[in-house]
Amino acid sequence: MVHRLDLLVKVPMLLSHGTHFVSWGEQVATVKNSDSRVVTAELQVSSGDFQCCRFSPNGKFVAGGVGCAIYVWDITSLNPHLVETLVGHTEYIVSLTFSSSLISVSRDKTVKFWQINTTSTDLVTTDITSTPLSPSSIQSVNLQAKDGVVISSDLAGVVKIWDILTGLCKASFQTPAKGVTWRDAQLIKGRLITVWHADQGIHILDAGTGEFLHVVDAPEFGVTGLRISGDGSKVFCLTGKSIIVWLIQTGKVVGRVELYDFPSLDPLHMGGSKIWVSFQDSSTQGWDFGVLHSSPSKLSNTFPDRPRLNFVSGWGSSGPSMIRDTVTGTEIFHLVGRYGNPTKVQWDGQYLVAGYRSGEVLILDFNHAFLQ
């Protein structure tokens, strides 16, 4: 199951869209002009209380979650009026967002996708049929924002491609990597390449055709991370206090660096052949393995090599996983509740993708204006 939430708004009872904002409480939501504070629409329900409201991207509609139902009003006419009543959830709605459709998240643990302003009020699809739960714990997530997808891989060896905007599962593949802890998967020039560590080797497979490209020698023990490079050309392996790198095309070792401590893969997803690792003292370090015929070059820990906003994973019980401003030290956001302890995370400055033992994948879209 994929959940995609829009975190543009921090204040839960006030939502702005351009020159207007909507506030809500109990059975009334009020749309006002941001400058004059003149009321342009009052949206009322006969029973239940508003839990959330959301403007459509064009500002034409306001959707409100009231109990288990969604009400959609057209607010652009002289007489704002109700145009849709969407029923399908069994528990109250906790979040709404618009992308190519209206997306609702409910306490009934489902995400539903609705088509607005059509002749039918039937929901387009639900997570029950199009985004089924993976059968086991998520072991890797790969954020490919430029391609509009997230790729997950679970402990049962199932690799799934998710649409980053809608949360729909676009494709699913069974691979031999069952029960394997360290793995990754990425779309590379239209091919879904998956890698995993098992039996003293790194296995590189074309998941679409089932063809093994290479099996390269690797340490049997001490592996703590595995990742395909952002440009799809290399495989990074963390083992002991080292990073070892192979070319996917040839299976040849192209680089190795020795570290001062035992690392873990940093959640930051960089392009090209860059990799970042984190240490238990909360420090991070990056290397670029993309310079031909030369040793890996160490990257600066400051902008632009690394974004100012950094996702920090909690180590054991040391604290929550959070996004923090590296200059001021201010905490911007942290994962809490059932989503407080992801198994895998990637972060690119806009999207945060987290995988969980439940088999769920959470995609959070942070608007840059919100994070400034």
176 upstream amide cis, omega within 30 of 0? no
DSSP category for residue 130: H
For residue range 227-254, what is the model confidence (pLDDT) as tens digits? 999 999 999 999 999 999 999 999 999 9
* 366: CB partners within 8 A, 6+ apart: 7, 323, 333, 350, 351, 352
Q: Is 219 helix (H, G, I), strand (E, B) or coil?
A: coil
Phi, psi of 316 (to 5 degrees): 60, -120
- CA–CA separation, 253 and 234 (whole Å): 9
* pLDDT value for 60: 82
- CA–CA separation, 217 and 200 (whole Å): 6
* pLDDT value for 234: 95
* pLDDT value for 303: 66
User: Which H helix or E strand runs over 371?
Assistant: helix 368-371
pTM (two decimals): 0.65
* pLDDT value for 204: 96
* pLDDT value for 2: 54
* pLDDT value for 150: 93
146 burial (CB, 10 Å; 0-12 / 13-18 / 19+) is exposed
Which residue ranges make up each domain of the chain? Answer: 2-130, 138-371
Residues of the chain predicted below pLDDT 50: 3-18, 118-134, 315-318, 368-372
* pLDDT value for 119: 34
Contact 103, 96 (CB under 8 A): yes
CATH 3.90.1150.10 is the classification of domain 2-130: no
Same fold, 2-130 and 138-371: yes
Nearest-5° angle of CA 184, CA 189, CA 194?
A: 20
What's the CATH superfamily of 138-371? YVTN repeat-like/Quinoprotein amine dehydrogenase (2.130.10.10)
